[in-house]
Structure 1
Amino acid sequence: MSRTRPSSSLDPGGPDDATRRRFLVGGSLMVSFAIVPGMAALAQTTTEAGTFHASAPKLPGSLKTTPSLDAWIKVAPDGHVSVFTGKVELGTGVRTALLQLAAEELDLAPHTIEMITADTAATPNEGYTAGSHTMADSGTAILNAAAQVRTLLVESAAAQLGVDAAALTTRDGAILAADGRRVTYGEAVQNANLHQDAQPNAAKKPPAHYAVIGHTLPRVDIPGKVTGGPSYVQDLRLAGMLHARVVRPPSYGARLVAVDSARVAALPGVVKVVRNGDYLAVVADDEWRAIVAMRELALAAQWQPGPPLPDPAGIHAFLMNLPAQEIVVADQGAPARQSAVTLKARYSKPYLTHGSIGPSCALAQLDNGVMTVWTHTQGVYPLRAGIAEMLGMPREKVRCVHVEGSGCYGHNGADDASGDAALIARELPGRPVRVQFMREQEHLWEPFGPAMTVEASASLDAGGSIVAWQYELWSNTHNNRIENAGRLLPAQLLAQPFTPAPPKPIPMPEGGGDRNSIPLYRVPMLHVQHHFLPDMPIRVSAMRSLGAHMNVFAIESLIDELASAAQADPVAFRLKHLDDPRAQAVIHAVADRFGWRAHAARATHPDVRASGSGFAFAQYKNLMAYLAIAMDVTVMRDTGEVRIERVVSAIDCGQIVNPDGVRNQVEGGILQSASWTLFEETHFDREGITSFDWSTYPIMRFASVPRRVEVVLIDRPGLPFLGVGEAAQGPAAAALANAIADATGVRIRDLPLLGPKSRNALKA
């Protein structure tokens, strides 16, 4: 394997117009081994996590799709060990956790291992980093591959030493014999064939012998971030780099009528003005000059408006009346013959903005017929396919290299920026081109988290048990990731535009809008209906946890209302309806740490403040991490302000690799969900999106951060990794709503909880 890097200050380790307008509205590492035979034949499924059809279904994790051991672990003759993953670091700490897995099974210090993440020239194709799949897919693959590589190295050393392999031990990159003789990994690999498929049920270390897994390792991505060192694609600088800025249409479906580009082209430092149909961009030798030229180009452009958006005041009714693809998610049992109480409720969620702190950025260079794109995409292989189609280039002539971006969980503008960079770099062969969005471009043009509406009803019998549950949800797709070139915004603006692939629902059990729409509770009669809405008035795609945030909010809110109707404690009511012992365990853990007690009269001061507690639980996707949460809040009755006083959460995510990393993710998920749930809403009018900056799209400020957050970790040594990143979003939202209802007696079913109408309802 030969390895070089670009000169850089950062070492990151044709459809018709009507259809087009409708959809608008609506240094490098080179490897000499083959990653997997027939990789091009692997067809991507429609799951948001980007899983693939398995070529080796009996193997664990992503070994199913990439079984070759040297696709994951490479040992050089000098003993240098490289570990490869198709997943990316998004700020969740997975790079560190994956290092720990490899270090454990290879008996190496983590800092001696080189971790190479998502690069279409080097790493396995693991689709997208999404859906809390990294540890379950890539982590499981690396753990098993490392164990089998270690076995092969030991067998090679045993042959060299003439001893039984069982008599050898490994430590710090060497195989040791009882008589003191040693063979380094570099020496052993010369007589070991790592280019072979993994085997199922290979022996691994027993959890009792773990020295790295289950222990906190400081995150390897943090030092540069806290010291101001180059850490993100936004920091990447290549020799001879040019700076570009794009000019987007003023609204969905707007058409470029005319543009006086000659004046802009004559500005100081301007290298090129790029126009292709409705696509506009400018390239300069300096970033500030590019920004000045972009502003002038925007002023010089004349646009024909696109079709109007729906009335924002009636957006949920509008969505519910769109043509729907009907999906029966669950249908079991017969209607209850007798019920003492039936509750009905409607819940809603607005469009949400990802709001990445760093606007999306990408770099691209066309050199010797190869287009290289440095990108913070969550899926380098799907992005490569989309860019190749857009440029009319063979896929093997396009390379996408992941470099961490400054903040996103979900589908923001990263892929669009990558498409922009590639289009512009094609116009200037040999020169690296950097594209970064302006704040308003990020906010106005990213794919938003979809608005959703839920109607639910549930019945109790005379003994206070749930006997019937009916649940309907309306939602656009939660997956408009890059399935084809048309999913890239710049490709839609070209003179020969590309049509986005039609939206498709993500099948259960993963689910999209219907993710977590089936309650885990014991319910004799259950019906869940998903009204999947293919037509999109506003551009939407994946946002962290997809439909789980809304569905758990609705389900757990209704569970609290049912508990009240049954005159039961909310925690006891949940336990009464749960059969899963792991679910019961996280609930008990929270209740014990929180000091939960059966509800009594709250300390309420009507003219000043009201205090209350809320509880919620969910298992993410009903098949991943279990999480329960309790919250204390204070509501200021004069202003409607909500203060989160204390949060206690417990999580069971199977085998814990890095305890502090798990704790970080739960804490971060709680804060992010609290921001969504209390404050966030994408605003628009009939002409377009209006929440274009931080003053028009409020997020949680430091004054609203919970005073105290505690996370109880329930470790399950040896059990499968269940994923952590998205477990907290739904339960945190529901616990907040339940706590506010407990404090004030006001049940808010429409998000955000502190929207204008809701805030007024909370005032005394």
Structure 2
Amino acid sequence: MHKELTASRRGFLKTTGYLSLAFAIPLDSALSQANPNTPRLPGDLQTNRKLSAWLRVNANQTVTLLVGKVELGQGILTAVSQICADELDIDLNRVQVISGDTALVPNEGVTAGSFSMPYCATAVQHASAEVRAILLELAAEKLNQPVNSLTVQDGKVLASNGSNVAYWDLIVGESLNREATGTIKPKPASQHRYIGQPVHRVDLTPKILGEAKFLQEHRPAGMLFGHLVRPPTYAAKLLSVNAASVQKMPGVVKVVRNGSFLGVVAQREEQALAAANALNASAKWEVEKKLPTHDGIFDWLRTTKPNRVINTKVQPRVGGETPAKTIEATYYRPYHMHASIGTSAAIATMGADGVMLIQTHSQSVFETSIAIAKMLGLEPSKVRCQHMQGAGCYGHNMADDAAADAALLAMAVPGKPVRLQYTREQEHKWEPYGSAMVIQTKAGVDANGNVLDWDLQIWSTPHGTRPGGEPGNLLSARYLEKPFVQPVPTNGGPPNYAADRNGIALYDFAGHQVLTHFITDMPVRVSSTRGLGAYANVFAIESFMDELALAANIDPLTYRLRFLKDERARDVLQQAADKFGWNSWKKTINRGRGIGFARYKNIAGYCAVALEVEVNPRNGRIRVMRAVAAADSGHIVNPDGVSNQIEGGLIQSLSWSLKEEVKFDDTQILSTDWNSYPILTFSEIPPVEVVLVNRPGAPFLGTGEASQGPTSAALANAVFDATGVRFRRLPLTPERVKQGLDKKGTA
């Protein structure tokens, strides 16, 4: 269903042989269609208003669906195909999807933030419904029958008098080259054939059978291999290198040096690697020592002057009741890697037409193409990014950097595809990490444990340095002879700021305030990891809720429900607890239970997680025995897809919370392989049960980042229940747990 294309838009239309109702709109006009005087359209239809940007009805009896969002393993291409097929009344196998090709599809920005369902899927639903209405009008005219007398079966329009005509026979030039009106209502849930069904993900079977190629496996004809030599540290500068001798090595096509950017292109991969190693051996660098170290980062965060302080008065308290007691706690999150199993890669070709074609697994193909064009000194139209699926990652890893680096090397060998893939050490040392954070909580409570004043303070560096059209956010652009300066990061916009994402608790407190200390200095490279600041903020909030419940001598579930007014939130929390058997659970030695809840960004999917753990007091090892999650994603399109996202997020969060921490000294990153940065293994994954709360007719809610925060809190709460020791610094490694147990305090 998903085609990978290397031709131009015009070439694509010629070679497919399809006669279609519509053509894709040009990229440069994709974001300029919205007239401020026209009604707001649903989802990404607002910024890509032409129906022809989204859909083509083809003479070969298929429908081409074009989307700007890309497949990362989250199942979005399957979900939008289900929606399109239902709204058009066609079989699912007729839907062909093209995604993430900057020359062909609508610009939907970055695939991130759990926005694919609320923005892309909503746009597809409304666009498809409107196209169906247009096709029915055309059919009514051709059959000379009233529109309300027509029905559709798999693309065949049937009239009550027995006459019929198929969609594919209604080809009338520019029929879809019009703006959507937003006036056609999608079908009610009762008429859905595919929406709500566990349709097998279209990309899974070929992956399971080894038929599909990830970008990392792609080998176009005539391809050359590139490798880079990275500086030893962030601030290092290249003083000298013996490039001439390396240029003479077997298979070397070109040694490329531009300032402190250093790379090589060779005929075979092992030749490129050998040449890169030779360059590295002869390179002389100027090195600085100025990092605060991984143990010193939390003090650094608390003492560094913030670039911006955001004071959010969520609920000013009315009344002068004095709290009976004040309870405080501080929580810590380290830097996290994306830790993709497959290292980042890209293939770039400088074409004879002057267009740089880059095949990439970037989540931000549009912005990255613009940033690379600026870096290379090309017009934006001369850089085309084409998404290919990579080996799995959520967030801003090194895919964009690989695209830029491949392009820099490809400029030196025009006409030849250049493949670049980082080594494990390069990926680990140079990728942008998830920011370390400190979260301080304080609550004034009355004699019954009711929260009178809730104060939460956050210290964090940025969570977003994606290219955003700016070369300075591409790693190698900063090392060129004429370097690009990295823009000062921002903290996003309300209600989904990055550092303080989910910093506002969903609970109804009498007084509620959040203070964010946003620090734009970055000792180590940082950007978006799955959930951004939500993971740490929910960990802190939900851990502190347990601490308040303990102080009030109230069951943690009961305590949460006391302050939770949102009925859907209460439902999810109760469903997780019921499935877990919260009220019937019997405590045994060294075992504990814990629960955590959040609504991602307070606007997306609801999720509650309950865990049972066993803690070995002799060595501090935590074993997660079982996990239960409940999720409300609004109207569910694909139940399997939602369950997979909840399960995957839960497992990844356990890995973060139990093992993962980037370590560095005053000079460089020390976590360079899987031994120095371990992740959860298959044998450590617990059985996971997921309860789905479906809301037919409700808006689609993003789910991909809903379970990370609740899982970290549920883990810490369960460990406390098992040991009586409150752990507030992640990860909960055996060494840290054993130390805490020996002290019998907090850690």
Partner of residue 649 from structure 1, selected from 599, 615, 629: 629
Which residue in the other structure is 1:12 paired with?
A: none
Q: Which TM-score applies when normalising by structure 1?
A: 0.92
**Aligned amino acid, residue 753 of structure 1:** L
Q: Where do 5+ consecutive residues of structure 1 fail to align?
A: 8-26, 43-51, 605-609
Matches within 5 A, 1:668-707: 668-706=648-686
Which residue in the other structure is 1:616 paired with?
A: 596
Instruction: Find out whether 1:550 has 2:530 as its counterpart.
Output: no
Distance 1:510 1:353, change over 3 A: same
Matches within 5 A, 1:183-582: 183-190=165-172, 193-324=175-306, 325-334=308-317, 337-367=321-351, 368-483=353-468, 484-582=470-568
Instruction: Find out whether 1:109 has 2:81 as its counterpart.
Output: no
Q: CA deviation at 1:262?
A: 1.7
Provide the C-alpha distance between the structure 1 equivalents of 2:293 and 2:528, rounded to a whole number of angstroms: 23
Provide the C-alpha distance between the structure 1 equivalents of 2:452 and 2:624, rounded to a whole number of angstroms: 34
Q: CA deviation at 1:41?
A: 5.1
Q: What secondary structure is seen at the aligned counterpart in 2 of 1:312?
A: coil
Provide the C-alpha distance between the structure 2 equivalents of 1:183 and 1:100, rounded to a whole number of angstroms: 23
Distance 1:282 1:508, change over 3 A: same
Which residue in the other structure is 1:740 paired with?
A: 719
Provide the C-alpha distance between the structure 1 equivalents of 2:678 and 2:65, rounded to a whole number of angstroms: 41
Q: Where do 5+ consecutive residues of structure 2 fail to align?
A: 8-13
Which residue in the other structure is 1:48 paired with?
A: none
Q: CA deviation at 1:516?
A: 0.3
Provide the C-alpha distance between the structure 2 equivalents of 1:452 and 1:216, rounded to a whole number of angstroms: 38
Provide the C-alpha distance between the structure 1 equivalents of 2:362 and 2:37, rounded to a whole number of angstroms: 25
Q: CA deviation at 1:337?
A: 2.6
Q: What secondary structure is seen at the aligned counterpart in 2 of 1:289?
A: helix
- 8 Å CA contact 1:153, 1:189 repeated in 2: no
**Aligned amino acid, residue 544 of structure 1:** R
Cα deviation digits, residues 343-374 of structure 1 (max 9, x gap)? 10011100111101000000111112111100
Instruction: Find out whether 1:92 has 2:92 as its counterpart.
Output: no
Which residue in the other structure is 1:153 paired with?
A: 135
Provide the C-alpha distance between the structure 2 equivalents of 1:69 and 1:530, rounded to a whole number of angstroms: 42
Provide the C-alpha distance between the structure 2 equivalents of 1:745 and 1:414, rounded to a whole number of angstroms: 43
- 8 Å CA contact 1:6, 1:238 repeated in 2: no
Which residue in the other structure is 2:10 paired with?
A: none
Provide the C-alpha distance between the structure 2 equivalents of 1:495 and 1:106, rounded to a whole number of angstroms: 54
**Aligned amino acid, residue 384 of structure 1:** S
Q: What secondary structure is seen at the aligned counterpart in 1 of 2:296?
A: helix
- 8 Å CA contact 1:54, 1:64 repeated in 2: no
Partner of residue 25 from structure 2, selected from 23, 29, 34: 34
Which residue in the other structure is 1:607 paired with?
A: none
Which residue in the other structure is 1:70 paired with?
A: 52
- 8 Å CA contact 1:666, 1:711 repeated in 2: yes
Q: CA deviation at 1:53?
A: 11
Cα deviation digits, residues 264-309 of structure 1 (max 9, x gap)? 1111111111001001111111112111211111112111113421
- 8 Å CA contact 1:128, 1:379 repeated in 2: yes
Partner of residue 704 from structure 2, selected from 711, 725, 735: 725
Provide the C-alpha distance between the structure 2 equivalents of 1:276 and 1:407, rounded to a whole number of angstroms: 31
**Aligned amino acid, residue 192 of structure 2:** Y
Provide the C-alpha distance between the structure 2 equivalents of 1:201 and 1:713, rounded to a whole number of angstroms: 31
Q: CA deviation at 1:34?
A: 2.3
- 8 Å CA contact 2:617, 2:738 repeated in 1: no
Q: CA deviation at 1:735?
A: 0.2
Provide the C-alpha distance between the structure 1 equivalents of 2:64 and 2:525, rounded to a whole number of angstroms: 40
Q: CA deviation at 1:231?
A: 2.8
Partner of residue 751 from structure 1, selected from 719, 722, 730: 730
Cα deviation digits, residues 557-601 of structure 1 (max 9, x gap)? 00001111111111111111111110111111112111111887x
Q: CA deviation at 1:40?
A: 5.8
Partner of residue 638 from structure 1, selected from 599, 618, 621: 618
Cα deviation digits, residues 218-244 of structure 1 (max 9, x gap)? 111111221222331112121111110
Distance 1:715 1:32, change over 3 A: closer
- What is the alpha-carbon root mean square deviation over aligned residues? 2.1
Q: CA deviation at 1:459?
A: 2.0
Which residue in the other structure is 2:579 paired with?
A: 593
Which residue in the other structure is 1:47 paired with?
A: none
Provide the C-alpha distance between the structure 1 equivalents of 2:123 and 2:256, rounded to a whole number of angstroms: 44
**Aligned amino acid, residue 322 of structure 1:** T
Provide the C-alpha distance between the structure 2 equivalents of 1:305 and 1:336, rounded to a whole number of angstroms: 58
Query: Quick check: 473-482 or 196-205, which moved more?
Result: 196-205
Cα deviation digits, residues 701-732 of structure 1 (max 9, x gap)? 122211x2100000000100111100000000
Q: Which TM-score applies when normalising by structure 2?
A: 0.94
Provide the C-alpha distance between the structure 1 equivalents of 2:444 and 2:532, rounded to a whole number of angstroms: 28
Distance 1:122 1:168, change over 3 A: same
Q: What secondary structure is seen at the aligned counterpart in 2 of 1:146?
A: helix
Q: CA deviation at 1:755?
A: 6.1
Provide the C-alpha distance between the structure 1 equivalents of 2:168 and 2:714, rounded to a whole number of angstroms: 54
Q: What secondary structure is seen at the aligned counterpart in 2 of 1:456?
A: strand
- 8 Å CA contact 1:322, 1:533 repeated in 2: yes
% same residue: 44
Q: CA deviation at 1:54?
A: 7.8
Query: Quick check: 727-736 or 315-324, which moved more?
Result: 315-324
Q: CA deviation at 1:629?
A: 1.3
Instruction: Find out whether 1:165 has 2:156 as its counterpart.
Output: no
Q: What secondary structure is seen at the aligned counterpart in 2 of 1:409?
A: coil
What is the total number of aligned residue pairs between the two structures?
A: 728
Q: What secondary structure is seen at the aligned counterpart in 2 of 1:469?
A: strand
Spell out structure 1 runs of 4+ moving beyond 3 A.
Answer: 3-7, 27-33, 35-42, 52-57
Partner of residue 176 from structure 1, selected from 158, 163, 166: 158
Q: What secondary structure is seen at the aligned counterpart in 1 of 2:295?
A: helix
**Aligned amino acid, residue 273 of structure 1:** V
Q: CA deviation at 1:78?
A: 3.4
Q: CA deviation at 1:331?
A: 4.5
- 8 Å CA contact 1:477, 1:512 repeated in 2: yes
- 8 Å CA contact 1:72, 1:85 repeated in 2: yes
**Aligned amino acid, residue 139 of structure 1:** A
Q: CA deviation at 1:613?
A: 0.4
Provide the C-alpha distance between the structure 2 equivalents of 1:54 and 1:95, rounded to a whole number of angstroms: 30
Distance 1:458 1:273, change over 3 A: same
- 8 Å CA contact 1:365, 1:373 repeated in 2: yes
Distance 1:743 1:436, change over 3 A: same
Provide the C-alpha distance between the structure 1 equivalents of 2:423 and 2:184, rounded to a whole number of angstroms: 50
Distance 1:336 1:475, change over 3 A: farther
Q: CA deviation at 1:261?
A: 1.2
- 8 Å CA contact 2:508, 2:563 repeated in 1: yes
**Aligned amino acid, residue 335 of structure 2:** Y
Provide the C-alpha distance between the structure 2 equivalents of 1:169 and 1:306, rounded to a whole number of angstroms: 72
Q: What secondary structure is seen at the aligned counterpart in 1 of 2:311?
A: strand
